[in-house]
Amino acid sequence: MNGLGYLTAAYSAVWLILAYFITSLLLKNRRLLRELSQIEQRVKTLENR
């Protein structure tokens, strides 16, 4: 592998690590929104009792 190959590998690694991290934040955000809607559902059920 020449210098440009190593350079491409390094910069690809930077974006892949950042993409993994940002995706994990987005997934956590989605999980929290799902849990919030479940809680809202439970509150509605409780109010209707």
> Footprint of other proteins on this chain (CB under 8 A)?
1, 3-4, 6-7, 9-11, 13-14, 17-18, 21-22, 25, 28-29, 32, 35-36, 39, 42-43, 46, 49
The CB-of-48 to other proteins minimum distance in angstroms stands at 11
How far apart are alpha carbons 22 and 42 in whole angstroms? 30
The CB-of-15 to other proteins minimum distance in angstroms stands at 10
The per-residue DSSP string of 4-38 comes to HHHHHHHHHHHHHHHHHHHHHHHHHHHHHHHHHHH
